[in-house]
Chains A and B, each alone.
Chain A
């Protein structure tokens, strides 16, 4: 089985209050020197067939229409592992 990973992140200009809450908590826990935190989502898609251009194109379409809201989010698609 091949795995394709879709990462979805809020666009840089969109306030990410979750990331900010995490960033504010880090120094309290002793983790200093972290200037900014953004929190995103990771989707792991297990493909039934081969990861060819057609399959990747379908996944990009799924990411664009459904997994990400492109009004507020960016996404990346990458193949994580090839079928054995």
Chain B
């Protein structure tokens, strides 16, 4: 049976169709999920896409976190379902307290859009197992509030437990603490990433196809589970 990966559309999501295409190219069946829907339609994993959910009002991701679909996703994530939050999705995961820390305004105050070099630090999560630790990839990055911040002791804990999954190389585009581009929860099923792997899955439209590994990783995870 084909693996079903849900992609949530919130009012203001932008990258939901790109995420669906990435899921399809990876070999799974993308399932569109609606923010008001409590039912996850038997998906095996969920992607929270980039964009400006609820217009980024209040704080990025703060209102989406209380949408009906998130109640179910938070519940399922705690039971081990793989969840990947990209950009705005990362913000939603932090607001949901599925991941620690917060994303704040870029230190430059400017919206940044660039092809970003990353180093995969942890290749053991549900979403990174098709990479190898230390592997360098290039994927697009575009954000205005992408600066990862957390208390010193939280940062130390993330480092000590290997929960920083990707770090910015060459340039830190937004002032993120310790060059952190992505993190995971303790169980390794929930991953938040500020850059956009779903925009680097086809040679025609991306700088590389090196983002596809995130989406193929979760298939392997689910087959082995």
Interface size, B (range)? 10 to 19
What 1/0 mask marks residues of chain B from 90 to 122 whose CB sits below 8 Å from any chain A CB? 000011000011101111110000000000000
Beta-carbon contact of A21 and B109 below 8 Å? yes
Bound form: Cα–Cα A21–B147 in Å: 17
Distance to closest chain A CB from B155 (angstroms): 12
18 A–B contacts, CB within 8 A, in A order: A14-B104, A14-B149, A15-B104, A15-B107, A15-B149, A15-B175, A17-B105, A17-B107, A17-B108, A17-B109, A21-B109, A66-B62, A66-B66, A69-B59, A69-B102, A71-B94, A71-B150, A72-B102
Bound form: Cα–Cα A13–B17 in Å: 38
Name the one of B95, B106, B108 contacting A69, with C-beta atoms under 8 angstroms.
B95
**Cβ of B58 < 8 Å from any Cβ of A?**
yes
- Closest residue of A by beta carbon distance from B150: A71
A1-29 interface with B by 8 A CB criterion: 10, 14-15, 17-18, 21
Q: Provide the residues of chain B in CB contact with A71, threshold 8 Å.
A: 94, 100-102, 150
Q: Provide the residues of chain A in CB contact with B147, threshold 8 Å.
A: 15
A48-79 interface with B by 8 A CB criterion: 66-67, 69, 71-72
- Closest residue of B by beta carbon distance from A41: B58
Q: Provide the residues of chain A in CB contact with B175, threshold 8 Å.
A: 15
Give the number of chain A interface residues (Cβ < 8 Å): 11
Bound form: Cα–Cα A66–B58 in Å: 9
Bound form: Cα–Cα A11–B129 in Å: 36
Bound form: Cα–Cα A17–B66 in Å: 28
Bound form: Cα–Cα A66–B108 in Å: 27
Q: Provide the residues of chain B in CB contact with A67, threshold 8 Å.
A: 58
Name the one of A18, A21, A72 contacting B149, with C-beta atoms under 8 angstroms.
A72
Bound form: Cα–Cα A66–B175 in Å: 25
Distance to closest chain B CB from A74 (angstroms): 13
Name the one of B59, B66, B101, B109 contacting A18, with C-beta atoms under 8 angstroms.
B109
Q: Provide the residues of chain B in CB contact with A21, threshold 8 Å.
A: 109
Instruction: Identify the 4 closest CB pairs spanning chains A and B, nearest first.
Output: A71-B102, A72-B102, A17-B109, A17-B105
- Closest residue of B by beta carbon distance from A18: B105
Bound form: Cα–Cα A67–B149 in Å: 19
Bound form: Cα–Cα A66–B65 in Å: 9
